[in-house]
Amino acid sequence: MTRYSAWSVFWNGLRGQRGWDRAWRDPEPKPAYDVVIVGGGLHGLATAYYLASNHGITNVAVLEKGWLGGGNGGRNTTIVRSNYMLPGNRRFYEHSLELWENLSHDLNYNVMFSQRSHITLLHSPAARDAAARRYNTMRLTDSDGELWSLDELKRTVPHLNYAPGARFPIIAATVQRRAGTARHDAVAWGYARAADQRGVDIIQNCEVTGVHRDGARVTGLETTRGTIRGAKIGFAVAGNTSRLWRMAELGTLPIETHKLQAFVTEPLKPLLDQVVVFGVAGAHFYISQSDKGGMVFGGDLDWYKSYAQRGNLPPVQDCAECAISILPCLGRVRLLRHWSGVMDMSMDGSFFMCRTPLQNLYLNAGWNYGGFKASPASGWYFADLIANERPDPVIENHDLRRFERGINIDERGAGPDPKLHG
């Protein structure tokens, strides 16, 4: 397979672009594999890659019902950060950010990771104190984090709404400089190509429609391309987790599926060189500018449960209002597109990565709306769990029984209501 480099771009330019190979094969499914991962999103593809690269397990299939990156992986606002505070999240997301920092080299694929800073606006002394605690915790655990004064913020992002009469005046900001954005479909394609190079079969248009069991083991998966057996099976299907769980006759999960929308405007000249987050009094809004110039933004969930990958109009209004309140200069910009994904929202806002009641079935779920940044570490630790059949200490509390043990990993402090965990 062609190794991507400046030289290969130059050489193929001279030869009329005739020397490129397919990025990954399109194999027919085999009857059986050592590991079958259901879900060709970022988490499923990353798991397959790390199974092969970290553990030497290459007889692996990734089954995807549609096309790679057609789920949340290709629908998100691509914010990558590690400003988590609680044990169970802190080390996991920091490791993920470290993996992002070398991902393009590791995969030999430019995922366009841009460490452009993540700025959270603060609007009250109480919010500033809480944020200082979070960012100090990050600094004490070898991450980066800064608390900026209003003057510093004005110097860096002069066109935010600093009007003294604003409904929620900005008083300060927290900043993580190593945070930023990446190109979502490049991440899917990069992991797919690198996994394929190591022998993984990536099988698109292959929907799992049933789970065969023999007592406490999964014996095979019924798919639209025939029955496929796996010695070990991993579910990484994001908002569809409860559907797969039901197919395995495992009852209910502490997960609800909700919808989240994102938006992009017509392209503008360079305007915003950071990710900016605005959250106060029920408003929740995050915005950045894509490399093509579009302003990319999103807000809260649609507030009702659904498996449909389409949104509704009230969040459009909410997001437009938030956009204008922090960046009034966007007032006459036209919205180009908006779309929705399906989020697997958990009761405490944190993920599940664990063994299940079935001996050879493993679960990767509950990413709420923060799973893009988690993709590398999710693949890393899920591959480790499947290969070694025990959780690494970093993820040991992310099991389905944590609530019975009194462990809530509730970063937002929102309580057991999935729709409140942003």
What residues line the site for ligand FAD (CB under 6 A)?
A: 38-44, 63-66, 70-73, 75-79, 207-208, 236-238, 240, 244, 260-262, 298, 341, 367, 369-373
By beta-carbon proximity to ligand FAD, the closer residue of 148 and 245 is: 245
By beta-carbon proximity to ligand FAD, the closer residue of 76 and 176 is: 76
- Indicate the SS3 state at residue 26: coil
Q: What angle do CA 8, 14, 18 make, to 5 degrees?
A: 70
CB of 367 to ligand FAD, least distance (A): 4
> Within 10 Å of residue 296's Cβ, how many Cβ atoms?
21
CB of 356 to ligand FAD, least distance (A): 16
CB of 87 to ligand FAD, least distance (A): 20
Closest of 68, 410, 38 to residue 247, by C-alpha: 38
Count Cα neighbours of 390 within 13 Å in the Cβ-side half-sphere. 2
> Within 10 Å of residue 199's Cβ, how many Cβ atoms?
13
CB of 420 to ligand FAD, least distance (A): 16
Residues 6+ apart with CB under 8 A from 263: 296, 297, 298, 316, 319, 335, 337, 338
Distance CA 47, CA 42 (A): 8
CB of 210 to ligand FAD, least distance (A): 9
By beta-carbon proximity to ligand FAD, the closer residue of 57 and 221 is: 221
CB of 167 to ligand FAD, least distance (A): 25
Does residue 172 contact residue 153 with C-beta atoms inside 8 Å?
Answer: yes
By beta-carbon proximity to ligand FAD, the closer residue of 145 and 376 is: 376
CB of 68 to ligand FAD, least distance (A): 7
Cα-Cα-Cα-Cα torsion 65, 66, 69, 73, nearest 10 degrees, comes to -50
Distance CA 257, CA 72 (A): 12
Q: Per this entry, what is the length of the chain?
A: 422
Residues 6+ apart with CB under 8 A from 403: 254, 347, 348
CB of 260 to ligand FAD, least distance (A): 4
By beta-carbon proximity to ligand FAD, the closer residue of 72 and 176 is: 72
By beta-carbon proximity to ligand FAD, the closer residue of 100 and 135 is: 100
245's tokens: 């769980």
- Indicate the SS3 state at residue 189: helix
By beta-carbon proximity to ligand FAD, the closer residue of 81 and 123 is: 81
Measured in whole angstroms, the distance separating CA 376 from the mean position of its chain's CA atoms is 9
By beta-carbon proximity to ligand FAD, the closer residue of 290 and 332 is: 290
12's tokens: 């193929």
